[in-house]
Structure 1
Amino acid sequence: MKMKMKNLTAAELIKVTKDELVKTGFTNLTLKGIERVWVNLEKYLHDNDFNYFSLDLGMAFLKERYHITGASNLSPTNQLRLRAIQLLADFQFHQRIVIRRKQKQYEFAQPFETIFTEFMNFRKNVGISNTTLESNIIYLERFSQYLFNHGINHEPEINIEHIHGFIQSSSAFYSTSTIYCTCCLLRVLFRYLFDQKVITEDLSTAVPSIKCSKKSKIPSAYSQEEIRQLLQCVDRGNPKGKRDYAMLLIAIRLGMRASDICKLTFDNLKWESNTIEFKQNKTGHTIILPLLNDVGKAVIDYIKYARPAVETNKVFLRLCAPIGRLQAPTLHSIVTHYMNKAGIFIPKGKKHGPHALRHSLASALLHNNTPMPVISEVLGHADSQSTSTYLKIDTLNLRKYALDVPSIKVVLIGGII
């Protein structure tokens, strides 16, 4: 397929790319702006005796025609011109329209750039997931900057004081779980540096041990009144509101994780049996949940009157071009938006995303004296021990086991208590 795309002439590539833009919901106004750039591109290629498109030729065209030499500090018009070239290059290589997002770029302090990059490549090669690697880069950047700011320019100069100083200073700004993960990474880093003979002493044993148990945390749950306020503030008179309401209901009524909601396909919706059947992204286990009446109605309302008409099996989609399935972080932003809109008080440190809605469902089930094995099955927990953590938020039942505070006898001696 890629070879076929590369064999297309520039005119043919422009045509198939335009067809894809129409399918993914680009507006006519945006298409007109992109097509103006493509018309000028075709003229540039013809005048220079080129029949085929490449990204290098596209960038040369932008430089000559519009004096665009990079992606920084561009006017909206020039951003659209650059995007027109990127769309052709993306579709030529990937056969799809790529969603481009600005992401923060993390950089290691210059003295440690080479060895830390090699370490990250080592982590990648041993099969560490991309999500974990992204976190690792953040932790390493902080560590490298700390060392550089304290006058350390070579790995052999690192000692126990630097390690402890970094952990202590980080503790003032980051959560216990973040510090725990940072320490775990530093141990792996120092073992790697020692094995590669970059340092002569294995400093992994010098990294402090941080206690961080998930069981010690109290899940973030919201009351049923707060959940009601959350749902009531969603405006279902527009496509976005219909989509958001359906996703919120699934999270609230069924306790599904954000990643599972965003990955739902039409094949997962079993209308004939009124169930939702899917493989959990986290555990890989298949789970069957009831397609409750209000959830089903909300999903149907979204599909019939709000879902973009594009060829994809995914249920929940972006509403802006290029149209594709929603990502879990977007659902987190949606939940947070409506919590703020509903005026729900969110104390410092309390979670306020889809997982908090999952916790709230567990809290409501406990309040209704639902047996723990049933709650485990609803939440898709492979181990009932994972569910037991929700006992901490069942305050009504916990009060039954509260101990009386013993009375204190006060003895007066010479007028003094």
Structure 2
Amino acid sequence: MDHVFQPEPRLQDFAEHLRQHRGNPEGTIKKKLTHIHSFLAFIGAQHRFMRPLLLTDIDDFLMECSRRYARTTTADISCSLRSYLRFLLATGELSSDLAPSVVTPVIRRYEQPLRALPWDDVRRILAAIDRNTPTGLRDYTVLLLMSSYGLGAGEVIRLTLDDIDWQAATLSVMRPKTGVAFVLPLLPALAEALVSYLKHGRPRRALTRHVFLSMRAPHHPLSASSAIRHMLVGHARTAGVTAAYLGSHVLRHTHACRQMEQETSPKVLSDILGHRSPESLSAYVRIATEQLRQLPLPVPR
């Protein structure tokens, strides 16, 4: 192998490759570029860019990652590295294909159950929100949308005023990862919450058509799932709800569990959640099974 690794590779070209040829969304591109930047910084710190890139360089980097991150994160970084190595091969900057030799930590599918809350806890959180304030109206509407439809944080923060069809009573939603759009019925409780927020909560002089905005000028759109997480954690604390994990996807997982308890068709639920296959619901089946242990079920004799 005659490639000499450069300290400043064409990351912009790599980003464009991911965008145009791999169809990756901007969030995924940003994540992969962050991973590759860390890899290049590691190589540069070791002064290894002065000689051809070796598999041992990649192994050393991943070993360092495994000491700092969870297996799932290290596996994600490995995936980014393979993608970058294939790009270097395709552009002639590598003479040998190193991608197949990148070792990835083994992650068993659904080895850990997804996090979900009891439905009563969701009700307590919603009831604890003070809807006499603009911030409370916004937060209540956001969390009600997520718990009622199983929407992810990325889907909620991308909603615009144009996505609401009041005449047809529908809500158009875009999947941030795939760019696929779908339409949901605007339930009466959601319509009431949206009207109340838009009339009395949403800043009137906002220059954007995004639905959910920051409450401080210049009232920019909520831009990250962390805003949703802080929102949920704060209101859960007020409601006295404690959980081992309160991330932005908790309400999505809770919605899935609730729908399965009500025997919603797996195909319908899979379509709502944006899964490619109903088989993806097996993760939620595991949660529901664990919840059944808490019920006084009769034991056959």
Per the normalisation by structure 2, the TM-score is 0.79
Q: Which amino acid aligns with 2:217?
A: A
CA deviation map 1:184-226 (0-9, x unaligned): 2323444555677766765434421333465544222111122
- By how many angstroms is 1:183 displaced? 1.5
Shift in CA distance, 172/292, structure 1 to aligned 2, threshold 3 Å: same
| C-alpha deviation, 1:297, in angstroms | 1.9
CA distance in 2, matches of 1:185, 1:369: 38
Output the CA distance in 2 between the equivalents of 1:271 and 1:160: 58
Equivalences for 1:335-354 in 2 at 5 Å? Answer: 335-347=232-244, 350=245, 352-353=247-248
Count of matched residue pairs: 285
Give the corresponding residue for 1:369. 263
1:124 to 6, 9, 15: 15
Counterpart Cα distance in 2 of 1:396 and 1:294: 30
Are the counterparts in 1 of residues 233 and 246 from structure 2 also a CA contact under 8 Å?
A: no
Matched to 1:178, the amino acid is T
Name which of 43, 57, 67 aligns with 1:147.
43
- The AA in structure 2 aligned to 1:287 is F
Q: CA deviation at 1:179?
A: 1.3
In percent, how many aligned pairs have the same letter? 26
SS of residue in 1 equivalent to 2:146: helix
Question: Match for 1:395 among 270, 289, 293?
Answer: 289
The equivalent residue for 2:22 is none
What residue identity is the alignment partner of 1:345?
Answer: T
Q: Name the counterpart of 1:324.
A: 220
SS of 1:172's equivalent in the other structure is helix
The amino acid of 2:254's aligned partner reads: S
- Do the aligned residues in 1 keep the contact of 2:14 with 2:84 (CA within 8 Å)? no
Cα 1:138–1:339 shift into 2, 3 Å: farther
Distance, in Å, in 2 between the alignment partners of 1:374 and 1:208 is 37
CA contact (8 A) 2:89 2:97 kept: yes
Secondary structure of the equivalent of 2:184?
strand
1:178 corresponds in structure 2 to: 73
Q: Which has the higher contact order (CA 8 A, sep 6+)?
A: 2
Q: Which amino acid aligns with 2:40?
A: S
Describe the SS at the equivalent of 1:121: helix
Q: 1:245 corresponds to which residue?
A: 140
How far apart, CA to CA, are the structure 1 residues paired with 2:250 and 2:275?
A: 16
- Write out aligned runs for 1:284-303 (5 A): 284-303=179-198
What CA deviation, in whole Å up to 9, does each residue of 1:290-315 have, x standing for no partner? 32232222212111111111354332
Aligned equivalents of 1:299, 1:287: Cα separation in 2: 19
Residues 250-307 of structure 1: CA deviation (Å, up to 9, x unaligned): 1111112222222223333233443323443344444332322322222121111111
Unaligned stretches of 5+ in structure 1?
1-111, 405-417
Change (3 A) 1:120 1:336: farther
Pairs within 5 Å for 1:51-66: none
Cα distance change of structure 1 residues 135 and 283 upon mapping to structure 2, 3 Å threshold: closer
Q: Which moved more, 1:157-166 or 1:362-371?
A: 157-166
For residues 380 and 194 of structure 1, the distance between their equivalents in structure 2, rounded to whole angstroms, comes to 34
> Is contact 1:123-1:133 (8 Å) kept?
no
Of 357-366 and 208-217, the range deviating more from structure 2: 208-217
Local SS of the residue matching 2:204:
coil
Q: Helix, strand or coil: the match of 1:276? A: strand
Contact 1:235 1:241 in 2 (8 A): yes
**Whole-Å separation in 2 of the counterparts to 1:383 and 1:312:** 36
2:113 paired residue number = 218
Q: Where does residue 358 of structure 1 map in the other structure?
A: 252
Distance 1:250 1:115, change over 3 A: same
Distance 1:204 1:339, change over 3 A: same
Structure 2 CA distance for partners of 1:116 and 1:187, relative to 1, 3 Å: farther
Question: How far has the Cα of 1:235 moved from its partner?
Answer: 1.9
Matched ranges for 1:149-168 at <5 A: 149=45, 151-156=46-51, 158-168=53-63
Deviations 1:365-409 (A, max 9, x none): 112222322322433444323334321211169769xxx9xxxxx
Range with greater deviation from structure 2 (223-232 or 249-258): 223-232
Alpha-carbon distance in 2 for matches of 1:351, 1:211 = 26
Structure number, greater radius of gyration: 1
Shift of 1:247: 0.8
Kept in 2: contact 1:318–1:326 (CA 8 A): yes
- Return closer, same or farther for 1:182/1:272 CA change in 2, 3 Å cut-off: same
TM-score, normalised to structure 1, is 0.59
Task: Tell me how far apart the structure 1 counterparts of residues 88 and 174 of structure 2 sit (CA, whole Å).
Answer: 40
Offset, 1:237: 1.8
Q: 1:211 to 1:398 in 2, by over 3 A?
A: farther
CA RMSD of aligned residues (A): 3.2
